Amino acid sequence: MPLPTITIDGQTVTAPPPTVKMWRKYAKFAEGKHSIYTPEGLNQHIEFICEYFRDQRVTPEKLEDTDLGDLVGVIIDINELLSEIISGKAREILKNAQNPAAAQ
């Protein structure tokens, strides 16, 4: 799955590969069940996106001017990427546990 991207001032910014630290932040963020349908929830999503991209061009102010569909798309892309990585690793660990000889 490709890394999430967002367009800021006509430039495409690509998020770096997620780190363990980012996974922890995501897990904590996901626990809160922040609704994008409230101003506070939307602000929390915007803050998380800024942290996730770790790029000085991706700021809350710039994201305020982003197309709403693009912003929602980035939220979905981040969620799908992290879910895919975690579920893929979990399947790999389970498969290796069931067949230790294949893991070597």
The overall average pLDDT reported for the chain is 87
What confidence score (pLDDT) does residue 104 get? 57
Contact 74, 6 (CB under 8 A): yes
Domain total of the chain: 1
| Structure-token pair, residue 77 | 């892309």
Mean pLDDT of the 17-27 span? 89
pLDDT, tens digit (0-9, with 9 covering 90-100), for 48-77: 999 999 999 999 999 999 999 999 999 999
For residue 19, the enclosing domain spans 5-103
CA distance 26 to 51: 10
| CB-CB neighbours of 15 under 10 Å | 21
Q: Is the pLDDT of residue 88 over 90?
A: no
